[in-house]
A = this chain, B = another copy of it.
Amino acid sequence: MTKQTIIRIQQETFDIALEMQRLSQGRSDVGAIVTFTGLCRDENAALCALELEHYPGMAEEEIARVVAQAEARWPLLGITVIHRYGRMNPGDQIVLVITASSHRQAAFESAEFLMDYLKTRAPFWKKEHKRDGTIGDWVSAKDHDDQAAARWEQT
């Protein structure tokens, strides 16, 4: 049973179909693939763009630690995590998580775990650029993201 792990921090966008193919191609033991795609959302038609800053080096290392935890916890055949940085327009893809497993529960749970941990542990920060030309605030961290991550500690 080979396991593939792909982690990339990049400025350019990603191709979900291609990334899924990388995990499942040429093997027939994968029964379930879950993908999560996070998009740049424009809440009140006020957002022009998001600027994503990250901590180069630490971002890769921290995501690798989170991925290792997921691999220890679920029987996974493949994991892909791609996180972009730089300027994103509304509708743009920001983050991709893919998990492949024999069975659906492991794929679902691990994808959700990865996203909860990425939200609270991966060193990325979002700043809003408003449509009226002003540079808005840095997006605040949300309590419910911390709570979402904390529930994985309890079980």
Contact = CB atoms under 8 A, between A and B. Distances in A.
Interface of A: 15-17, 20, 24, 27-43, 47, 90-91, 102, 104-105, 107-108, 111-112, 115, 148
**Most central of A17, A32, A37, A90 by chain B CB within 10 Å:** A37
Contacts of A107: 36
B16 A20 contact: yes
B38 A31 contact: yes
8 pairs of A and B residues whose beta carbons are closest in the complex? A28-B90, A31-B41, A28-B42, A17-B17, A33-B37, A35-B35, A28-B91, A108-B112
Q: How often does this chain occur in the complex, in copies?
A: 2
Nearest to A15: B17
Nearest to A26: B91
A35 B14 CA distance: 16
20 contacts: A15-B17, A16-B17, A17-B17, A24-B39, A24-B91, A28-B39, A28-B41, A28-B42, A28-B91, A30-B41, A31-B38, A32-B38, A32-B39, A33-B37, A34-B35, A34-B37, A35-B37, A38-B104, A104-B115, A108-B111
